[in-house]
Amino acid sequence: MSLQKKINLRKNEEIVLVIKAFFFTYFWLYLLGFLFMGVASFFMFWLFSQGVWGDVVYGLVMLIGLYIIFRTWFFANKNFSVITTERLVNINRVGWFDEYLSIIHFNNVVDCHVRKRGVWPNILNYGSIVIETMDEENGLELNQIRSPQRILDLILEYKNNFIDKKNLYDKDSVYKAFLNIIPDLDEAQLCEIYDLADEQLKLIDQEIDSVV
């Protein structure tokens, strides 16, 4: 399944960035897997000389190493977040067949901040991005993110762009609705609108004259 279908990308919505955990935070699991395989390879000839049980031990140790490596790769690639032009989507794979998908729309974001706790996060510049929403129960925390401040700035940028675009759309909707009801207004209402429009036009003329 493509990423666009997985997050149900909407019309005119675009993917801005895909965020994954910093490699440094889980590379030791790869080392552990290769360590198992290395130990099995080092004692390979001795184990083979022990008969059937040696073959079994060799196979099990190699299998454990391969499992650790594959599991690390699988979950590192299946756990990620996506920033789009309208929302933030977090995909959390907690088991082989257990996945959570959380969505936060930008107009629901109240506050967000970065937290870097510990020596390595501050040295290597990785940490967590905490996102608070109007509904406190639906907040989100993106963990082990490289350059979290840069990602946070990007989220805030598209949040502001989305809100500005939404406000502009709301104004256009109100204006079109207003034009549609003009034929239904009575004389007094039309005169009131005319007076308000005339006053606003005079203010605009005064501003133009002051600039000139």
What pLDDT was estimated at residue 47?
87
The first and second tokens of residue 31, run together, are 């080392």
Q: In the chain, what are the domain boundaries? A: 9-159
**CATH of region 9-159, choose from 3.20.20.10, 2.30.29.30, 3.40.80.10, 3.30.70.3420:** 2.30.29.30
Q: Which residues pair with 132 in a beta bridge?
A: 111
Chain segment 123-145, per-residue pLDDT in tens: 999 999 998 888 766 788 888 99
**Distance (Å, rounded) from C-alpha 192 to C-alpha 199?**
11
Please give the pLDDT value at position 65.
95
Residue 20 burial (CB < 10 Å; 0-12/13-18/19+)? middle
Condensed to tens digits (0 to 9), the pLDDT of residues 78-114 reads 999 999 988 899 999 988 888 888 888 888 888 889 9
SS3 state of residue 8: coil
Query: What pLDDT sits at residue 192?
Result: 83
Residue 211, pLDDT score? 61
Which single residue is written with the structure tokens 């967000």? 112
- Per DSSP, helices labelled H in 24-93 are 27-42, 44-48, 52-78
Segment 166-182, tens digit of pLDDT: 776 666 667 777 777 87
- Contact in structure between 114 and 143 (CB atoms under 8 Å): no
**178 vs 171, 173, 175, CA distance in Å?**
10, 9, 5
